[in-house]
Structure 1
């Protein structure tokens, strides 16, 4: 019954906080976190413990996969150097900085490195929730960094936990081998799974089965990687990117519409639920703190928070400039951004549920049966750092983005124009032959030619006329909907017929609304897209 109560509470919390965020403009992740904290203070949920297995094996693959399949492979390729440096070098730098601060505050080196590995990765959900106003290139770098740095941090955590539980000295060579093997194995596993699923996707006759396969794909990539002891994170991300590359040729429109609708709702719900679950865990983390006093732990958490935020800022205002001294190619010079435009990248360092789940995976005893000291402090410090980064960085990031004054993405507009022209040209070229094949009358063919040409290069005033026609068609759709509902209410048709006709009306309305672009505010969600 407790599980059912938790599901109900989380669902209600997601719904209410989402509505409140849209009404007030307050940060949705913070509202969700606060709601979870209030729930965690109530007696029924006082003993709640967030299961790291649920986060790492259920939430993480699904969220990573959706982020990967909605990413730009071209932008990742063009910005690969920056992404690779941030997802490996910055993770290691953050882990070392946090470990140094924690050690200076009295924590042993093994536990300090565990804490550093736990807090090293940014949280994709938290970053995506507030970073949508950024240009395509910057947003792609942040999203891909948050996808890949989980893998780096989890490998580093495994090495650090082994040092704690097996009481063995830390080895740089062993860590390097573990990184290389985990990364290569994850990429190969994810790529192999994606390629194996391509012929399966071609042969699936039913859009519903395509959706089922879409849901199963991240787990089909993650599980073999984990069984092979390589990076499940890299496997899921690679699988998603390969699927993005081949998907348009092997997935039909019906299956795609259905799968996208499912993933948009699911990713929003999973992301939001994670914030609520982290909030529920916070009171428990405070109550479980016994190895140090609350005052000492709070001071340590604030110091570690400064280390986490400061290391990221120092990285973005040092490493890129060092790279500039080495790489002076003209193409790289064109891609450089100013110091003011670099600040949003440095400021988008929020931590989230992945860090807390990683902290909870630290075992309570060593291989010899000795108690792992200060494990409770690691969980507490992680929880506080999550809150601090969300409170300090999250609400202020939109203002930082506005201050950066990013130029308009002219390349995107040019690419959209190119697509429209090329598609129209190809359609006009193929139209006579296709019209003859299907026996379409000449006057209908001329009308289609005119329609295509109007959309490619509209005459003066054509946009106004098209908008008027669009509004008229939408109004007629509302009349049709009212008539359909009236017939159902009068008992003239049943609900099955209503849903069948309603589906056709929905597709037509989506088509008509698509002519004017998505409605404003349609993307205000805590997803990692």
Structure 2
């Protein structure tokens, strides 16, 4: 019964938090974490903890898959050097740097390394939630980095925990083999499962096809974990493969269902994680001895500052080195402004992956003794996560405004270009298609006239400086069409209320009208 109560409470917290965040014009994590803390004061929820296996096996595959199928593979290729450096080398440096800070606070070196591995990766879901106002370039680099660095950090984490627990003998050879299997195996399994999962696109029924798509990331994670590879990398690579294949093979109705499903599901999972982080904060505070609360809080703040400093130094140094070595004209077009580098340095958010990893640290060693300072590193990790989400999160929009980054209108320009090319190709093909299908000439001419009118509008918009009249007509056309759509909605609802049409008819027509509104306003699901 308690599980049901938790589900209802978390759901209500998400709903209330979303409303409050919208009213206050802040991101939802800033509201959801305090709501989670408040839930922890309810006696029935005082012992509710976030099981690490739930995050690793349920939340993580779904959230990472969604992130990978919606990211830009072209932008990843453009900035692959920075993404790989941040997703691998920066993770190693961060883990070692935080371990050094941990030893300064009295932790044994290997326990400090566990803490460093836990906090080394940035969180993809937190980046998407908090960095949504960034231009496409910075947002893509941060998202891609967050997708990759989880695999690197978890490989270091597994090695550090094995040494700390003493469950197996670790040598340089075993460490190298673990890293190779983790990376190479994860990538290989991701490609294989992505190709296999894409076979479900050939199923003509939308619902079974989407069931196959939903199962795919979990299957990739499962296979990778069974063979000792990185489940995170397997899911990410699987998503990238699927994103390349889906546009050609996925059926339109199935694609529409999938967009709606993943949008709602990942929103709920993402928001639930932030509420559960707030709940977990209550638990770790109670489990830590009162004498260590002050030290743990100072420890957490110092580690949080160290994470920002390490990332800032790495971003500056790698930028200087790359610009000194690579002076190609193309490379110059990829350079960020100094203020853009400040944003990159401060946008390293920690989240669910770090919390799940630290909660998964064993309670006892192989010898039967308790894991030294486990409660302290759990507390420090939670403090750092809360600080990155509650302090860095609200600061990021302010820093973005200060940075005055150039407007990123590339997506709008490319969209207009693609629509224009597609419309021209369709007009050229209509006569032949109409002839092959036996379409009457008057119907063919009507379709061509409508398409050509649409082309003339697109050509005006695509021009370097569209005239004021064209812009005004386009805005008026959109407003009038939207008003007409609203009148259509009102009419069909009245017909349903008068019992002149069935609810099934109402829903089908509403779906068509909704899609038309999304097309007109450019708010189609991505």
Q: Same fold (TM over 0.5)?
A: yes
Deviations 1:294-316 (A, max 9, x none): 11111111111111121111111
Tell me the residue number matched to 1:451.
Answer: 450
| Pairs within 5 Å for 1:93-242 | 93-166=93-166, 171-202=171-202, 204-242=203-241
Tell me the residue number matched to 1:475.
Answer: 483
Tell me the residue number matched to 1:372.
Answer: 371
Secondary structure class of the residue paired with 1:132: coil
Q: Separation in 1 of the partners of 2:488 and 2:449? A: 28
Structure 1 residue 218 displacement after superposition = 0.9
Structure 1 residue 416 displacement after superposition = 2.4
Secondary structure class of the residue paired with 2:106: coil
Structure 1 residue 391 displacement after superposition = 2.1
Deviations 1:405-426 (A, max 9, x none): 2222354344223312321221
Secondary structure class of the residue paired with 1:371: coil
2:511 to 499, 506, 518: 506
Tell me the residue number matched to 2:255.
Answer: 256
Residue 27 in structure 1 maps to residue 24 in structure 2:
no
Tell me the residue number matched to 2:464.
Answer: none
Q: In 2, are the aligned partners of 1:477 and 1:505 still within 8 Å (CA)?
A: no
Q: In 2, are the aligned partners of 1:292 and 1:377 still within 8 Å (CA)?
A: no
Q: Separation in 2 of the partners of 1:168 and 1:110? A: 14
Q: Separation in 2 of the partners of 1:298 and 1:512? A: 50
CA pair 472-295 structure 1, distance change in 2 beyond 3 A: closer
Q: In 2, are the aligned partners of 1:291 and 1:376 still within 8 Å (CA)?
A: no
Q: Separation in 1 of the partners of 2:321 and 2:172? A: 24
Tell me the residue number matched to 2:353.
Answer: 354
Q: Structure 1 stretch 282-291 or stretch 348-357: which is displaced more?
A: 282-291
Q: Separation in 2 of the partners of 1:257 and 1:293? A: 52
Deviations 1:19-41 (A, max 9, x none): 11111113310110000011112
Q: Structure 1 stretch 331-340 or stretch 506-515: which is displaced more?
A: 506-515
CA pair 359-291 structure 1, distance change in 2 beyond 3 A: farther
Structure 2: tracts of 5 or more residues without a match:
461-466
Tell me the residue number matched to 1:36.
Answer: 36
Structure 1 residue 482 displacement after superposition = 3.0
Secondary structure class of the residue paired with 2:393: coil
Q: Structure 1 stretch 206-215 or stretch 352-361: which is displaced more?
A: 206-215
Structure 1 residue 172 displacement after superposition = 4.9
Tell me the residue number matched to 1:88.
Answer: 88
Structure 1 residue 292 displacement after superposition = 5.6
Q: Structure 1 stretch 498-507 or stretch 99-108: which is displaced more?
A: 498-507
Deviations 1:270-308 (A, max 9, x none): 000000001001011011113962111111111111111
TM-score, normalised to structure 1's length? Answer: 0.93
Deviations 1:87-110 (A, max 9, x none): 111111111111001101100001
Tell me the residue number matched to 2:493.
Answer: 485
Tell me the residue number matched to 2:54.
Answer: 54
Deviations 1:461-517 (A, max 9, x none): 466555545544443443343343334334444xxx223332223223322442232
CA pair 470-350 structure 1, distance change in 2 beyond 3 A: closer
Q: In 2, are the aligned partners of 1:36 and 1:278 still within 8 Å (CA)?
A: yes
Q: In 1, are the aligned partners of 2:200 and 2:213 still within 8 Å (CA)?
A: no
Secondary structure class of the residue paired with 1:429: helix
Tell me the residue number matched to 2:522.
Answer: 517
Deviations 1:123-151 (A, max 9, x none): 11211112122222211110011111111
CA pair 468-244 structure 1, distance change in 2 beyond 3 A: same
Q: In 2, are the aligned partners of 1:102 and 1:112 still within 8 Å (CA)?
A: yes
Tell me the residue number matched to 1:526.
Answer: none
Q: Separation in 1 of the partners of 2:169 and 2:326? A: 38
Deviations 1:304-356 (A, max 9, x none): 11111211111111122112222222211221112111111111111112111
Deviations 1:253-273 (A, max 9, x none): 111011100110111110000
Q: In 2, are the aligned partners of 1:485 and 1:498 still within 8 Å (CA)?
A: no
CA pair 141-57 structure 1, distance change in 2 beyond 3 A: same
Secondary structure class of the residue paired with 1:394: helix
Structure 1 residue 246 displacement after superposition = 0.6
Q: Separation in 1 of the partners of 2:366 and 2:290? A: 21
Q: Separation in 1 of the partners of 2:356 and 2:370? A: 20
Q: In 2, are the aligned partners of 1:291 and 1:374 still within 8 Å (CA)?
A: no
Structure 1: tracts of 5 or more residues without a match:
524-528
Q: Separation in 1 of the partners of 2:131 and 2:487? A: 39
Secondary structure class of the residue paired with 2:98: helix
Q: In 1, are the aligned partners of 2:163 and 2:170 still within 8 Å (CA)?
A: yes
Structure 1 residue 177 displacement after superposition = 2.8
Structure 1 residue 442 displacement after superposition = 2.4
Q: Structure 1 stretch 287-296 or stretch 258-267: which is displaced more?
A: 287-296
Q: In 2, are the aligned partners of 1:37 and 1:282 still within 8 Å (CA)?
A: yes
Q: In 1, are the aligned partners of 2:18 and 2:28 still within 8 Å (CA)?
A: yes
Deviations 1:350-399 (A, max 9, x none): 11121111001100111111211100001000011111111221001011
Deviations 1:424-483 (A, max 9, x none): 221121110111223333233233223222222337746655554554444344334334
Secondary structure class of the residue paired with 1:393: helix
Q: In 2, are the aligned partners of 1:98 and 1:304 still within 8 Å (CA)?
A: yes
Q: In 2, are the aligned partners of 1:117 and 1:153 still within 8 Å (CA)?
A: yes
